Structure 1
Amino acid sequence: MMKRIVSTFCLLALFSLVVYPKTSRIAINVYISENTSLSKESRDYLSDKVSRLLSDNDVLGKNYSDRFYITAKVHIADKHIINGMPQRISQELEITYKIGDAVDNIVYSTYSETYTGIGTNETKSQINAFSQIKSNDAYSKFIQEAKDRIVQFYSERCGSIIQEAEINAQNKEYDKAIYQLSLVPYGVDCYNDVLAQLKRIYFEKTEYENLSLLSQAQQAWNSNPTKDGAKKAVGYLREIKPSPSTQKQVQELLDSMNRKLQTDEEREWEFMLKQYEHEQELKLQEEQNSADLLNTCIQLGYDFLSSNFQPINLIGNLLSW
């Protein structure tokens, strides 16, 4: 049984074979101002349609980056009532799309399109117009222009991004470092350097967290060398990610608990140990069945942003576009 646990950890070497996908991972957020005559229902629908445009053009459509945005400003060019039963409203809506850097307040790309919608009220008329928003060559050119500018942005700052991530990693701010690096898109000159740094920091974070959990497991067992102490210790061990660096210490702790427990407790301990082994195997399988280590890092970055991002007066810039 213990040998199987060892072999499970050894499978981690497969991570060295990871092939990273060559996708842009450009991160652009959608911002639809509330300072508009549109109803909330219309704004939400417009936001969904603009998000779909980003998705259709291989642009990350969720709040992940904290600086690049697409805005859509609506201008009512014409509105009139169509008599009949029921009475309907026709609206001609001109939408101006802009993509840019909200931190530096720079617009990278602009595009306008006009849509006509008819409905029994203004909201339905607007939603009917927005339903016509679909990706086409003009949209793709508009978005590609912005993507090229964003790649240029990261190319010019790549060295400083790597350096800042390294400082954060040295300060044990691993999630922040991973977040910074995972934003760098494919196509930047230093992309391979970023991936190498990203992988190194991810495993450094894993080792640091594993050692902390292992220390807590050892303390739980040393302070109460009984089945209850073993149960608590295994609870910490379950949180440890498969890693060759902690494999030997985990095995030594399990061996010491195995020797110490009395005969009448062995059956319960055996069940607990089997359950732990099974969970570790599933955990490793789940890691390997993920798209790749890069996607794991991207999710860590997104979690960090969700928990820590504080707007730095971006709204004023976005409203001025």
Structure 2
Amino acid sequence: MKKLILSIVVLTGLALNLNAQNIQGKTDDLGRIALAAIVPEQATGIPQEARRMLVNKMSQIATQNGLGATAANPRFCIVPLVTEISKEITPTAPPMQAVNLDVTFYIVDAASQNIFSQTNISVKGVGQTEAKAYIQALRNINVRAGQFKGFIEKGKEKIIEYYNSQCDVVLKGAQALAGQRKYEEALFVLLSVPDVCRECFDKSMDLSVEIYKQYANYKCTEYMAGAKAAWANMNADKAAEYLGKITPDMECYTDAVRLTDEITQKMLADGANVWDFKMKQYDDSIEKDKMMIQAGKEIAVAWAYWGAAPYFNWDWSWLYEKK
């Protein structure tokens, strides 16, 4: 009979199986003020190549003035409105296209459709095509210009003001989502509160731990059902796949250990092949609440990356169609 291997590994985090390459580092964006640089489709008349230049410029404006430019929460955005003041063909050989543009930047709350801050700049560009003329004009935007510091600072103040004044609404909204078993979205809402909004941030962290526990226990029921069904079909490897997702913070952990022992004893009695299963344990030196908050962040970021796109497909007609 081949030796049955049962090993124990130390649990240093509660993260579920996520695509680490795609979300690596993005958990740091939660809990900090950042702006999503967006050129909405409703911002018509801007050549596609110029759109990429605009996104780059807006990201630079944010980072040059102390804010993140890739927001985990795209609710707060920096967006442009480009107005073509004039366009002409130059009397040169070869003839070139010259454009004079008026560019207004807005910091907005896309969910509530409110403008927090705005600033305006005029730029000119010349190129062989209209697209190249636009790109040249936008390239001339000086992201270090003094006007952008006040623009970003005012937007930042408004975002902080939102969380300070609407904290109860944020918390109740998260609780309502959890009540609908939308745990990932609830965690995303709570863990997006900036740490500079200290009182609201602390309340959000406390509530995120409670909602993470609800999420963990909900998933535990799912994993145990899968493990039992797999073992009923004598599929030990599939059972191990489910049991391996169960962590010591989950209410059904004791049941999972009992099922593991049952499978182990049965396989030993039957002289089965090697079953290399790893059961998880806590490292007692790590604070459990901190581990749960980190796990919640990874769940929230995974939800934002994989499942939240429809939620953030904002309607921009309020900003563009009336201009």
Q: TM-score range by the shorter chain?
A: 0.7 to 0.9
Q: 1:293 to 1:144 in 2, by over 3 A?
A: farther
State the alpha-carbon separation in 1 of the partners of residues 74 and 180 from structure 2: 22
Larger mean CA deviation between 241-250 and 205-214 belongs to 241-250
Match for 2:50 among 36, 42, 47? 42
Q: Name the aligned partner's letter for residue 141 of structure 1.
A: G
Query: Which residue of the partner structure matches residue 243 of structure 2?
Result: 237
Query: Which residue of the partner structure matches residue 176 of structure 1?
Result: 185
**Superposition deviation, residue 126 in structure 1:** 0.8
CA contact (8 A) 2:82 2:102 kept: yes
CA contact (8 A) 2:116 2:155 kept: yes
Match for 1:95 among 85, 103, 111? 103
Residue deviations 1:110-135 (CA, integer Å, cap 9, x gap): 10112222211111011112123343
Matches within 5 A, 1:166-205: 166-188=175-197, 189-205=199-215
Q: Name the TM-score, length of structure 2 as normaliser.
A: 0.76
| Structure 2: runs of 5+ lacking an equivalent | 15-27
Query: Which residue of the partner structure matches residue 249 of structure 1?
Result: 255
State the alpha-carbon separation in 2 of the partners of residues 129 and 295 from structure 1: 40
Higher relative contact order (CA 8 A, sep 6+): 2
Q: Name the aligned partner's letter for residue 212 of structure 2.
A: Y
Query: Which residue of the partner structure matches residue 16 of structure 1?
Result: none
**Superposition deviation, residue 148 in structure 1:** 0.8
Query: Which residue of the partner structure matches residue 311 of structure 2?
Result: 309
In percent, how many aligned pairs have the same letter?
20
CA contact (8 A) 1:32 1:47 kept: no
Q: 1:87 to 1:25 in 2, by over 3 A?
A: same
Root-mean-square deviation (CA, aligned residues, Å) is 3.5
Q: 1:72 to 1:310 in 2, by over 3 A?
A: closer
| Structure 1: runs of 5+ lacking an equivalent | 14-19
Q: 1:244 to 1:12 in 2, by over 3 A?
A: farther
> SS at the partner of 2:107?
strand
CA contact (8 A) 1:64 1:305 kept: no
Q: Name the aligned partner's letter for residue 8 of structure 1.
A: V
Query: Aligned pair 1:162/2:171, yes or no?
Result: yes
Query: Which residue of the partner structure matches residue 211 of structure 1?
Result: 221
Q: Name the TM-score, length of structure 1 as normaliser.
A: 0.76
Q: Name the aligned partner's letter for residue 296 of structure 1.
A: E
Query: Which residue of the partner structure matches residue 127 of structure 1?
Result: 135
State the alpha-carbon separation in 2 of the partners of residues 35 and 150 from structure 1: 24
Q: Which has the higher helix share?
A: 1
